[in-house]
């Protein structure tokens, strides 16, 4: 990656970073002016248990060690009752799950020196009895927590196909009231940043 011309930013799995000895290649990228964004995979923001203080502290330490403009994590859970799933699992799109996510994201943001962006995952399955469409669920989550949105277009596409929806009908435009966007200053010399808009609700294409 260090040899790529015009590289604006790089993402690194936060749990792989040793705070006392950050990888030299990452440090070199940062010294070149490349934004390095720690991307967490183990906080379990959607888990019923409160986020673990040590994991949050490590994510905060990564941001400081790498001079990161922001950090990110997933709208998912990875453990329950002390059992590790070894995978990012979807949260139910319910009011109760939204309350849990809100509490954990607020706890996490309070300990971070930089903004937090949350990323919807590619869901292996959907829980039954959903009370929200995904776009509505995410919009309310961002409004409640003040978090930013990291939107992986490949995830949007995969989820739409898996749910029998038309990916081309999934609008990800920003709402006129203003979106919560994840922006990395200087990440793009042309665009001036990495911007990911708040999603709108995905709708099936009409057959008529």
The answer to whether residue 62 sits within a structural domain is yes
The answer to whether residue 197 sits within a structural domain is no
Q: Is the pLDDT of residue 163 over 90?
A: no
pLDDT at 193 over 80: no
Structural domain boundaries, residue 84:
9-169
Percentage above 70 pLDDT, the chain: 81
pLDDT band at 192 (very low <50, low <70, confident <90, very high): very low
Total domain count for the chain?
A: 1
Residue 168 binned pLDDT confidence (cut-offs 50, 70, 90): confident
Tokens of 208: 């008529």
Q: Which residue has the tokens 């990452």?
A: 26
Task: Identify whether 187 is part of a domain.
Answer: no
Model pLDDT for residues 55-79, shown as the tens digit of each residue: 999 999 999 999 999 999 999 999 9
- For the beta carbon of residue 19, count every other beta carbon within 10 angstroms: 13
| Nearest in space to 169 (alpha carbons), one of 139, 197, 204 | 204
Q: Residue 162 belongs to a domain with what CATH number?
A: 3.20.20.150
Ramachandran region, residue 37 (left: φ > 0; alpha: ψ -120 to 50; beta: rest):
beta
Q: Is the pTM of this model over 0.85?
A: no
Residue 74 resides in a domain:
yes
Mean pLDDT, residues 102-111: 98
Q: Supply the pLDDT for residue 206.
A: 38
The answer as to whether 193 is a domain residue is no
Residue 27 lies in a domain: yes
pLDDT at 204 over 50: no
d(CA 1, CA 95): 42
């Amino acid at each position: 990656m260090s040899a790529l011309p015009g590289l604006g930013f790089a993402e690194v799995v936060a749990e792989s970073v040793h705070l006392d000895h950050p990888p030299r290649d990452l440090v070199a990228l940062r010294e070149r002016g490349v934004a390095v964004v720690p991307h967490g995979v183990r906080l379990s923001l959607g888990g019923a248990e409160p986020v673990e203080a040590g994991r949050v502290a490590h994510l905060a330490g990564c941001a400081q060690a790498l001079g990161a403009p922001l950090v990110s994590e997933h709208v998912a859970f990875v453990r329950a009752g002390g059992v590790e799933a070894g995978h990012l699992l979807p949260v139910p799109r319910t009011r109760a799950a939204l309350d849990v996510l809100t509490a954990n994201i607020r706890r996490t943001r309070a300990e971070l020196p930089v903004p937090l962006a949350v990323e919807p995952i590619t869901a292996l399955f959907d829980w039954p009895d959903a009370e929200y469409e995904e776009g509505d669920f995410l919009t309310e989550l961002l409004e409640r927590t003040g978090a930013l949105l990291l939107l992986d277009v490949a995830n949007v596409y995969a989820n739409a196909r898996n749910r029998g929806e038309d990916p081309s009908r999934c609008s990800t435009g920003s709402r006129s009231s203003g979106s919560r966007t994840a922006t990395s200053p200087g990440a793009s010399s042309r665009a001036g940043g990495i911007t990911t808009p708040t999603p709108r609700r995905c709708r099936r294409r009409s057959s008529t």
